[in-house]
Chain A
Amino acid sequence: MNSLRSPWRVSLTAGAAVAALLMARPAPGQVAESTTDPYGIGLPYPFVHIVHADDDSLIGGSAYFRRYDPFLFFVLGRDLVRRKFTFRQGVYGQTGEASVPLYVGPSNARGAATHGGVPRFARDHTSSCGACHSIPYPEPGGGQTIASTGSMGRNTPHFFGAGLVEMIAQQTRQKILNRYDRNGNGAIDRAEVAESSPILIAPSPGARPVDYGDLAPDEHGVPQMNGVFRIWYLDASGRVLPDASSLDDPHVAAFNFAMQPFGWGRGYLRGPGGRRIAQGAEASTVRQFYVAAADVHMGLEAYDPSQLVRYPEAEAKLGSFGGVAQVSLNGALQFDFGDMPDRGLRIGPTGLSLDDPDGDGHINELTEGDVDAVEFYMLHVPTPATRASPAAERGRRVFHTIECANCHVESWRIEGQDAAKGFSGDRRLFHLETTSYFRPDGGSELVGRLVPLYRRGLDGAHEPLGGAYAAEGLYGDFKHWDIGEGFHERRYDGSLQRTHRTPALWGVGSTAPYGHSGQYLTIDQAVRAHDGAAATERKAYVALPQHQRRDLLAFLESLVLFVSDELPTDLNGDGTVAEHFVVDGQDVGYERFDPRLLARTPPRFRFLRDVAHPNGRTFRLQLIENPREVYGLDLPHRRDSDGNGFPDVVDPGPGSLDTGTP
């Protein structure tokens, strides 16, 4: 054990060398590669694209991992979200020259292309998702505020529990179709909504239904659905009519829609004759969200056929609004709004896209398999936790009494698998349940329990159970609301966005600042800023006796995020968290949610030292000795002999990846 000393004090000791080394490479972003991180956060393996495969017999392809090594698959996806990308991997782009519109407002790519909109982002904010989703480190938490459609800013939301949110959105859409798509053609025909067709969705059995508006058109021919839905129109043959914006359009026979629970909302566009056209939000699925964010913030364009309609070639161009795309590897229906820039217009000999839409000389910067892994990870990101306390419990009752829960809907039920109704059931393979305990010193500690949601096949395959699941303590209805001036956004073009999505409050205790713009530094300020549709609730809040207001805030602050890797967790279902958890005959320290411990080939560690964790437990510092085996780097569909990041099976060889772009 050595103590670090200041380099300027003893300039030539080894300690100085270490300190100098630490100083030599500071860089935010998120996690760097390191085989010598004793905490196990550094990524101990090089970047290798994951090969997409629906066939799970292709060892090392995405379906294989999902089925046979799901906890490693989770880690691989997580690491893509944590990883700091480099120029070599195609991060950033030649933004000024990119021929494609970037995440624009008017809110879709077509809008920018046709209206000459100003791109919002320049593809070079950062080299890692983790630079913004940064609190708590290194989790997909909340974080940075950036300028977006206006200078007030857009605050980064966390995506704990994102998989459940995606499932709720898919299920809600399905329920609407089940009720109103009477002919079962997968769209809403004009005749099907000739009369008032209210959308009332019960979030959980017995709960008051959420009112998402009405499918029937308003006087301008626009379905009166809440802004969280993105609508597009079809002709009688089911073809998408990208320029149509109303059922009044004589070519239009039907419309279709996606629910977009990700993003704060994009407000409305004004159409001809005072028509208001809801612009949805940023994404319908975690897949779409990831691909869009990787492009606009990091300049990494994914080629993800799962999100493309299989067009006739002529229509495969950017801006071709395709509508309903494919069901992804992890079972989520994808949509194509024509704004994913890499569309595989030119395909190389091994199936890689040669499009290089940001013109930086790097093709296919993320593969469909990479996106499969990220989707799998985001599907399974743990839900936020609750740090129980008597005050918080009292505050929860106040929350209900003053009717905050009208919009901040407490719980949602994922219906069990039902092919007839089109319900997938809970698509996850596991859930991390958390409970908070008081420690003897008065502090509290979160403890996890891994709940498997799969059955094991004889060959070691993992099959999702597809059961029902109650997502409790979510506190959101995903609707877009106008809650007054305190939440309006004056955009660069002078327009005013009045509506924004109700944020789910889980995790809110760890995600200051508040509001879509992050302009409220405390929860109290954010609550007091409510007005408009939430005026009554705000008045009730302000009128509360001080102790009740304090309890309410204690409740909201008890809804927290946490560092999952180090969460003391009962992994093996024996009802306890072992101080000395044994994996493969080896004591790996206390039992915690380090998914690598559950990988098909678990890590072999070199013990360094037992040290104190901030939570008071004993944490084991150790180095992984078998990263190639754990991370499957030698599996047939993963081996990358020349180290260029493309596995040999999709690497067409030297020179073949040259796009001709500098």
Chain B
Amino acid sequence: MTRLRLSATVLLAMSIPAWAPGMVYAQLLERPDDPLGLAIREPRVRVIHSDQPDLPGSSMHLQRSDPWLAYKRGHSLFQREWRPADGVFALAATRPLSAAVNSCAMCHNQPFRSAGAGGNTSEPVGHGRNVPHLFGAGLIETIGIQVRQELLAHHDRNRNGFFDVPAETAGRRAIVRAAPGVTIDFGSLDDLDGDGVPDLNDVILVRFVDDTGTPRTRASDGRPARMGAPGIAGYDIAVGIFSSSIGDHQFPALRRFAAGAFRAVMGFLVNDPTSSEDRGRGRDRRAHDGWGAISNAYAPQFIMRETGRPPKTQSACDSPQPGITEGEMDLLEWYLANHPPPARFQRTRETERGRRVMVEIGCTSCHVADWEIKPADALLGYSGDRRFFDLRVDFNPNARRLEGKLVSLTDPVGGPEGLSLQVPRRQGAWVTGIYSDFRHHDLGERFYEYHYVDGRLWVIRRFRTPPLWGVGSTAPYGHDGRSSTLDEVIRRHSGAAAEATSAYLGLPSEGRRAVLAFLRSLVLYQPDTLAADIDGDDRIADTFRRGEQPLGPERFNPELLFRTAPLYQGWTESDDDDTFFSYALLNLDEAYGLGMEGLRDDDRDGTPDILRSGISDVGEKDVGERCVARFNGIN
């Protein structure tokens, strides 16, 4: 630890004269001059968190006033290859395995430069877990939020935020409506098997609470909390929707998922009060409910660790901060919550037949095709569709390629000092072709996973139905990646899927082939090079322009949509006897807002100068206070 700290300090001290801008590495290299325009452009600056768009360059300001810049910065955080000076591997001394990789994108990698899928992690020991893609992850998170709220809406009659036992649980089932006429049963709210916990599907996390709604791991008699125990009034739930089984990334929110990866895989200190600080309810804030803030991206944050502890504040505002800041978590969440969903490749007679066959043989009873997102509703706690855009991607048979069409999901709202803000409408939406019920199922022995711990053999029997969107691009298959092809993984199903599996096996070979052809048409793609109509004129321009500036072919590159249009070098002659359009960026500071008060970092130490120069210089006392409270607490 000492050695690491030292090297980080030395790097900080030495890096300024020794390394010119652009000589920093990244999973995507940080190269504003990248002629393809696909590299990370901007230097890392520890973005300051804000929940109001006041301080220019702080997270909420970027999210509202320049949402594409916020999105692109989030993308950079995901793709960036972190350096010791950034604080990567800082936890390695105490958790040696946490120094596994230096970038999110080392695992979420395919297709490159997206939040894609990957190989296996080595944990848990044995076969590990296959890395899922995160296309459309924000929609999945929204479904998770909605499942909880819908269950509370139906069953939490006294609106105290949890299920009173037994008044609101006896004899009740946790049934939600995925779409009109499509209901999904998440089990019983009651404890029919008498084991002291509700018989809910494993995807639902249960937390016992006392009559104030505060989480309790123990009853008042000191014994483990259980239904009906003294001092236990009921339980709260969250949907651990990103997990493939219990014990694996069982997080209800993207933000916590990302923070966990930063810590456990890259050894970062993460300072994210939004997802870790239970600020309590009521006027004296004494009643803690185990929930953090609702993030800037409208996601309620379920606190995973034991709650009720006050946040730790370790250092003053003007010391360099080694970890990931809350503002950076805001932008990373913004990127992941808005990452477009997978696409359908070419629809053929065969793929459409396959789609029908899947319904006929019962695959879609668990691989539920569509979910409806309900509009935001403050009373019921529905978040609505939280995204700021939708990208509809489809196959163009004439051009033989995927093409996108960008649809804005925001309304302009006036902000401070004449600023125009983009605020997500949070309307209802359809999530089509996702193919999951998000429940955990027992699919028979061939999926079971065994662990030997504390002298005993344990088995995990149930695994979450994986969403099938993107499945054509994400071999290998199964939570453990042990099935190399789609056909193999289908054949591996039995247990709860036995009927559908035997129906699949009983199909004529053309039928099976059609199912596979359909599944293979559910694909991922590289968003940043995707030909797309991004200005809503129903065409994809050969040369997209902002003002007079030619910006290359119209494509889904967030840079083209920044508040300040990028300025590219343009037609250039190379040393290799060719002429090409160079996307080397000539106006980095303006396009990426490097001069904004909250981002300005003249000494290039990665920390905004505003935090170094002291609170008084900020001019706004509350910003300074937020900085103290939020920038420095380490948890």
Contact = CB atoms under 8 A, between A and B. Distances in A.
Nearest to B477: A614
Nearest to A387: B485
Contacts of B38: 151-152
A389 B445 CA distance: 28
Interface in B14-65: 14-15, 18-19, 23, 25-29, 31, 33-39
Given A32-B125, A86-B97, A23 B248 contact: yes
Contact of A490 (B84, B196, B461, B580): B580
Interface residues of A, number: 109
Contact of A39 (B10, B126, B487): B126
A586 interface: no
B57 to A, nearest CB: 26
Question: Which residue among A19, A21, A152 has the maximum number of chain B CB atoms within 10 Å of its CB?
Answer: A19
B585 interface: no
A413 B217 CA distance: 68
A513 interface: yes
A26 B121 contact: yes
Contacts of A364: none
B100, B127, B131, B460: residue with the most chain A Cβ atoms closer than 10 Å: B100
A4 B459 contact: yes
Contacts of A245: none
Interface in A121-166: 121-122, 124-128, 130-132, 134-138, 141, 143-147, 150-153, 155
Interface string A417-448: 00000000000000000000000011100000
Contact of B250 (A2, A23, A32, A96): A23
A17 B247 CA distance: 10
Interface in A533-580: 560-563
Interface in B106-145: 106-107, 109-113, 118-131
Contacts of B224: 10-13
B127 A11 contact: no
A3 B247 CA distance: 12
A153 B105 CA distance: 12
A345 interface: no
A7 B243 CA distance: 13
A38 B580 contact: no
Interface stretch (A55-63, A87-95, A212-220): A87-95
A270 to B, nearest CB: 6
A9 interface: yes
Interface stretch (A310-318, A458-466, A516-524): A516-524
B451 A517 contact: no
Nearest to B25: A122
A504 B50 CA distance: 53
Given A6-B205, A492-B35, A131 B101 contact: yes
Interface in A505-523: 510, 512-513, 517-519, 521
Contacts of A125: 27, 81, 101-103, 106
A95 B29 CA distance: 15
Contact of A22 (B123, B478, B523): B123
Interface string B1-14: 00110110011001
A145 B112 contact: yes
Interface in B186-231: 195-197, 202, 205-207, 217, 224-226
Contacts of B525: 521
A662 B126 contact: no
B31 A3 contact: no
A37 to B, nearest CB: 5
Contact of B112 (A1, A141, A153, A492): A153
B575 interface: yes
B484 A127 contact: no
B123 A611 contact: no
B413 interface: no
Contacts of A37: 125-126, 452
A30 B458 contact: no
B206 A8 contact: yes
A137 B125 CA distance: 12
**Contact-residue size bin, chain B (C-beta under 8 Å from the other chain):** 35 or more
A28 interface: yes
Nearest to B456: A2
Nearest to A155: B112
Nearest to A146: B27
A32 B97 contact: yes
Most buried by B among A1, A145, A517: A145
Given A12-B217, A135-B476, A2 B458 contact: yes
Given A2-B457, A22-B248, A29 B101 contact: yes
B578 interface: yes
A207 interface: no
B457 A38 contact: yes
A84 to B, nearest CB: 6
B385 to A, nearest CB: 27
B3 A662 contact: yes
A296 B31 CA distance: 19
B123 A27 contact: yes
B123 A32 contact: yes
A92 B28 CA distance: 18
A439 to B, nearest CB: 9
A46 interface: no
A608 interface: yes
B491 interface: yes
A361 B6 CA distance: 12
Contacts of B122: 27-32, 84, 128, 130, 138
B121 A27 contact: yes
A612 interface: yes
A91 B28 contact: no
B101 A41 contact: no
Interface in A23-58: 23, 25-32, 34, 36-39, 41-42
A228 to B, nearest CB: 19
A25 B205 contact: no
A492 B4 CA distance: 31
A442 B485 CA distance: 14
A84 B121 CA distance: 11
A613 interface: yes
Contacts of B444: 612
A147 B460 CA distance: 37
B31 A151 contact: yes
Given A27-B264, A41-B126, A15 B11 contact: no
Contacts of A599: none
Contact of A143 (B31, B118, B225, B575): B118
A146 B103 CA distance: 11
Contacts of B574: 494-496
A526 interface: no
A2 B452 CA distance: 10
Interface stretch (B88-96, B169-177, B276-284, B366-374): B88-96
B264 A25 contact: yes
Contacts of A361: 3
Contacts of A441: 491, 505
Contact of A513 (B99, B102, B111): B111
B123 A562 contact: no
A130 B260 CA distance: 21
B99 A86 contact: yes
B100 A608 contact: no
Given A1-B457, A37-B126, A11 B481 contact: no
Given A22-B247, A84-B122, A130-B119, 14 more contacts: A3-B461, A4-B460, A11-B224, A14-B454, A26-B124, A94-B10, A96-B11, A121-B25, A137-B119, A151-B37, A443-B487, A510-B476, A562-B484, A623-B452
The 5 closest A-B pairs by CB, nearest first: A134-B119, A19-B247, A137-B120, A612-B445, A145-B112
Interface of B: 3-4, 6-7, 10-11, 14-15, 18-19, 23, 25-29, 31, 33-39, 81, 83-85, 88-89, 92-93, 95-103, 106-107, 109-113, 118-131, 195-197, 202, 205-207, 217, 224-226, 240, 245-250, 260, 264-265, 400, 444-448, 450-454, 456-461, 473, 475-476, 478, 480-484, 487-488, 491-492, 505, 509, 523-526, 529, 572, 574-576, 578, 580, 582
